[in-house]
Structure 1
Amino acid sequence: MEKVLRMASEKGVVIFTKSSCCMCYAVKILFHELGVIPVVYEIDKDPEGKEMERAITRMGCTAPVPAVFIAGKLVGSTNEVLSLHLSGSLNPLLKPYIRSSALA
């Protein structure tokens, strides 16, 4: 769990994914369209990926991937991210991480 927490807090927006996950791809595209370039860790390509997946689940993520962290805090998986987006609550969380060119 320590490795996941350390990696999640290294940058403002971090997403743990699997390379073959279509929901992971959709969440990454959403962030890009909102002007945020997240740090993406594909846990299926990490030798400790299975342990990382278990740690993410223990943290309370409804699905192990995608697991989205903003400012080092677990936001959740696809359902939580999309719910925040549809309610208008995601943009304020992302505001510090939006590329300035995306604001123009």
Structure 2
Amino acid sequence: MLYFKTLFYELGASPTAHELDKDPEGREMERALRALGSSNPAVPAVFVGGSYIGSAKDIISFHVNGSLKQMLKDANAIWL
């Protein structure tokens, strides 16, 4: 999780992270992730602008191809 927080900070965003095993609402969040269609939700589950964009593998792919930064811009999470 630390890598992804660092990546978002380096891109100029201020991420909010919820550690399901430490958050009092963690079980409810896990159920919500399951409702997205996965019987075994991948974490980290990353949302940008309120929309689910994927798991760790997806975030790396988006970063490598340059689309993550545009997603953050489109969601007004960064202003570069």
Considering the TM-score relative to the shorter chain, is it more than 0.5? yes
User: How many residue pairs are counted as aligned between the two chains?
Assistant: 76
In structure 2, list runs of 5 or more residues that go unmatched.
none
Shift of 1:72: 0.9
Structure 1 stretches of at least 4 aligned residues deviating more than 2 Å after TM superposition: none
Name the CA distance, whole Å, in 2 between partners of 1:76 and 1:86: 14
From 80, 85, 94, the equivalent of 2:72 is 94
The two structures, once aligned, show a CA RMSD in angstroms of 1.9
| Structure 2 residue aligned with 1:51 | 28
Within a 5 Å distance, the mapping from 1:70-81 to structure 2 comes to: 70-81=48-59
If asked which structure has higher relative contact order (CA below 8 Å, sep 6+), I would say 1
Deviation digits for residues 43-70 of structure 1 (CA, Å, limit 9, x no counterpart):
212233123223213314651x211111
Give the counterpart letter for 1:79 in structure 2.
K
Between the two proteins, what is the percent identity of the paired residues? Answer: 50
Name the CA distance, whole Å, in 2 between partners of 1:47 and 1:97: 26
Name the CA distance, whole Å, in 2 between partners of 1:37 and 1:51: 24
Larger proportion of strand: 1
In structure 1, list runs of 5 or more residues that go unmatched.
1-23
**TM-score, normalised relative to structure 2:** 0.78
Larger proportion of helix: 1
